[in-house]
Chain A
Amino acid sequence: MTSSLPLLILISPLIGFFINGVVYPLKLKGFAKTDPNLAGYTATFFIFLSFIMSCMAFGHLVGGGENPHVTSFVFEWFNFGGLSIPFELRIDKLSGLLCLIITGIGTLIHLYSTSYMHDEECVGRYFAYLNLFCFNMLLLVMGANLPLLFFGWEGVGLCSYLLIGFWYTDTEKANAGKKAFIVNRIGDLGFLIGMFLLFRELGTLDLAQINLMLTNPEVVIKIMPSVSLICFSLFVGATGKSAQMPLYVWLPDAMAGPTPVSALIHAATMVTAGVYMIARLNPLFELTPMVMSIIAHVGAITALFAGSIAIAQTDIKKVLAYSTVSQLGFMFLACGVGAYQTAVFHLMTHAFFKALLFLGSGSVIHACSGEQDMTKMGGLKKYLPHTHFTMLIGSLAISGIPFFSGFFSKDEILYSSIALPGGVSYLFVIGVLTAMLTAFYTGRMMSLTFYGSEKMSHDVKHHLHESPFLMTFPLYVLAFLAAAGGFLGVPHLLGDYLGHMPHVLSQWLAPVVPAKHLPLVGVKLPLHEGVVMAGSSIIAIASYFAGVAVFKKITFISDAFGGLTGLQKLLNNKYYVDELYAVIVVNPLKKISAFAGGIVDKYVVDGAVNGLGRGVRAVGNSLRVIQTGDLQTYGLLMLGGVLIAILFIYKVLV
């Protein structure tokens, strides 16, 4: 059905952006002057508004029959020479779900920010950016065609740039924002190329049409040769946005932004755009097993890689950042093996618990008056009971402790990686390893932060205080979701025991993302689903509590086992990846540009031009000598001319 609902959902944060970004400053003659509360509540109101409308849209979808969707056609964006791109928004079951997540979590985080950012200056700017981000993110998920998706895709990139660099006076933070934008751009080029290829093959960029056309065998056969290329380019785009190898480097730096930003953008929503895109185009990706396996491998490796780094970090936000990268790796693993709905499932649960964890860490940092180093915390449990409680739930959820949300989604991924034809056995092993690591570093984080001895300085200790209600309330809401969210996707095995509880999510997504049937025993690895489930949960529990226990006293494993110092160093420096990139990418670029701008352009290209000029002058000067000033020389010249004339005559005649 068509309705203006999607448009309204989209517009309302934009209005908020305008009010915060334009109206207030104009009224008050300046950005710094906006009252923080006013700005915060305005922004929250508008995002909440679109949350309400998303719910209404969602209501339309419920029982809306076979693949229901709400669309609103806004205007012709492009239309020339066969390239027709309407500005059209479509909410189907997948994007509806994501709208809910975005606006819901968005609302919570706005609320949280209102209190968290209260003492900053230019809060108006902050909330304007935040609203703008929501607008772009919604556009990303609601856009009915790839260019619109790309619009949102770039838009969120811009907002993350702006928000990471919110404290722009600090060069570090500004650089982080720049890095994020540029690395994303690299991915975006892939995205663009993918789009161009698609357009060349199919002549359209409308998502629904693409998926529709792919049901037609002739079309499939026609695009078969180039489909791998298309999917690969799109996947490159996804790696950029969703921080996969090798383009993940920007995400950890992105933690330079305010913590709520990290929660919203770099955990819950934006970074999952790649997953969304792949899930959205799953019929296309289905056609190319090769790229699928690439995706799976990249995902798995990223997961393990980032997870291992997370162990050795001391900055609480860095830990969470790397864990985000690793969780995204899980999602890509799921996509890679073909379990799209599982990926979306994990996307959702991850949104819950990772947002929760970030906000919690934000509350911790808030309490420790800006301190982010876990080695200067410890024993905060008694000072921050609410924060501790909620974060505990979050940590349990991410570690995959049974019956918390993370458990269901992660478990499904692990099992799909052996149960589905696309799966690979060793990826399953990597997955399990990562799960173990996840639980371990989460436990470590909790222990370093809340348990163990108090290591903070006195004045910090003096100021310790539980965060105000505005901050704890979102924590509790998210805690609930993180705890219970998993029951939307109960696997059949358990579902049968639990009174035939269905896998709600996969049924819901079915029209958009067809659910794969999981056999009871893995095909790649002869393991019964129950075994996997039990095993993984045991591993999770064990390593979580190991983590908690081990790090009561020490900060690094190497403190316990001296042999591991080297490894520790390696991990602590993130495998020196940034340094590597600096050597193989950044510096060469700098050199090339210096060479091009400094040498080639000045001396070669321009040198040729100026050389020509000088040459002409030189010729002129050398010709001057004929002009001796002696009239008889001129006479001789004349006589020479006469002779030339005669010679011409003679030559012609004889």
Chain B
Amino acid sequence: MSPVIVVLAAVSAILALTMLFARNAITSALCLLGVLISTAGIYGLIGEHLVATIQLVVYAGAIMVLFIFSIMLLNLNREETDFKNKPGVFFGAIVLGMTVFGFIIYGLNEHFMGHRQDVTAGQFTPERIAELGGNSKVLAHALFSQYYVSFEVISLALLVAVVGAVVLAKRKFD
């Protein structure tokens, strides 16, 4: 395993933690941004260039900008004194989350130790992809040959989003 991935993973983990505990919304937003970027980096490192790019452009680029913009708009960048949670709730949540995390780890471990080979590997080994002309090309073909229905359907979602945003955020109510 490549050290760079380890570093990125560590970074994003730390950023995630910071995001959880940071007092300032802006800080958290920036942390999230960092997480997303490092995730993109990881994508890139494991050879998923197209995904990495989209991650950068859409997520880090568009969505986060939207967030930060609205934070500014509603000027929420004041200090948040505390979580306003009862300590019981707080630690309860933490414990719950950690338990879940533990279970996942347990599962992953079991998976990678034992059941890994149950899954029949696909044909798209790195060599095969390289032979077919690279990751992006393959994905593009796949997308528009097999998944174009989904692709079309997504447009519905976006349309709904647009309409919804307009309807909800329209300034004055007639």
Contacts and interface: CB of A to CB of B under 8 A. Distances in A.
Do A and B have CB atoms closer than 8 angstroms in the complex? Answer: yes
A639 B103 contact: no
A504 interface: no
A640 B89 CA distance: 12
Nearest to A653: B110
B99 A643 contact: yes
Interface string A624-654: 0000000000001001101100100010000
Given A636-B96, A643-B96, A650 B103 contact: yes
B89 A643 contact: no
Contacts of B92: 636
Contacts of A650: 103
B71 interface: no
9 contacts: A636-B89, A636-B92, A636-B96, A639-B93, A639-B96, A640-B96, A642-B100, A643-B96, A646-B103
B100 A646 contact: yes
Contacts of B103: 646, 650
A639 B89 contact: no
Contacts of A640: 96
Interface residues of A, number: 7
Q: Which 4 A-B pairs have the closest CB atoms?
A: A639-B96, A646-B103, A643-B96, A636-B93
Nearest to A640: B96
Interface in B2-33: none
Interface string B82-102: 000000010011001101100
A270 to B, nearest CB: 87
Nearest to A636: B93
Contacts of B99: 643, 646
Interface in B98-121: 99-100, 103
A643 B98 CA distance: 11
Interface string B117-152: 000000000000000000000000000000000000
Contacts of B100: 639, 642-643, 646
Contacts of B89: 636
Nearest to A635: B93
A119 to B, nearest CB: 96
Interface in A586-641: 636, 639-640
A643 to B, nearest CB: 6
B83 to A, nearest CB: 10
Given A636-B92, A642-B100, 15 more contacts: A636-B89, A636-B93, A636-B96, A639-B93, A639-B96, A639-B97, A639-B100, A640-B96, A643-B96, A643-B99, A643-B100, A646-B99, A646-B100, A646-B103, A650-B103
A640 B99 CA distance: 11
A278 to B, nearest CB: 89
Contacts of A639: 93, 96-97, 100
B58 to A, nearest CB: 26
Interface in B57-97: 89, 92-93, 96-97
A493 B34 CA distance: 141
A642 B92 CA distance: 14
A199 B137 CA distance: 105
A318 to B, nearest CB: 89
Nearest to A649: B103
Interface in A463-504: none
Interface string A555-589: 00000000000000000000000000000000000
Contacts of B93: 636, 639
A646 B100 CA distance: 8
Contacts of A643: 96, 99-100
Nearest to B110: A653
Nearest to A650: B103
A629 to B, nearest CB: 15
A347 to B, nearest CB: 96
A637 to B, nearest CB: 11
Nearest to B103: A646
A639 B100 CA distance: 9
Contacts of A636: 89, 92-93, 96
A646 B96 CA distance: 12
A636 B97 CA distance: 10
A464 B92 CA distance: 109
B104 to A, nearest CB: 9
A483 to B, nearest CB: 110
Nearest to B102: A646
A37 B103 CA distance: 109
Nearest to B85: A632
A647 B100 CA distance: 10
Contacts of B97: 639
A85 to B, nearest CB: 81
Contacts of A642: 100
A643 B93 CA distance: 12
B98 to A, nearest CB: 11
Nearest to B89: A636
A462 to B, nearest CB: 105
Contacts of A646: 99-100, 103
Interface in A187-209: none
A500 to B, nearest CB: 120
Nearest to A654: B106
A615 B4 CA distance: 64
Contacts of B96: 636, 639-640, 643
B96 to A, nearest CB: 5
A643 B89 CA distance: 16
A220 B93 CA distance: 91
A646 B104 CA distance: 10
B72 to A, nearest CB: 24
A60 to B, nearest CB: 106
A650 B104 CA distance: 11
Nearest to A642: B100
Nearest to A646: B103
A561 to B, nearest CB: 99
Interface string A440-454: 000000000000000
A640 B96 CA distance: 7
B48 to A, nearest CB: 29
Nearest to A633: B89
Nearest to B96: A639
A108 to B, nearest CB: 102
B107 to A, nearest CB: 9
A150 B96 CA distance: 83
A87 to B, nearest CB: 86
B99 to A, nearest CB: 6
A636 B94 CA distance: 11
A115 B97 CA distance: 108
A463 to B, nearest CB: 102
A510 B103 CA distance: 107
A627 to B, nearest CB: 16
A639 B103 CA distance: 13
Nearest to B99: A643
B20 to A, nearest CB: 14
B118 to A, nearest CB: 16
B97 to A, nearest CB: 8
A643 B97 CA distance: 9
B164 to A, nearest CB: 19
Nearest to B95: A643
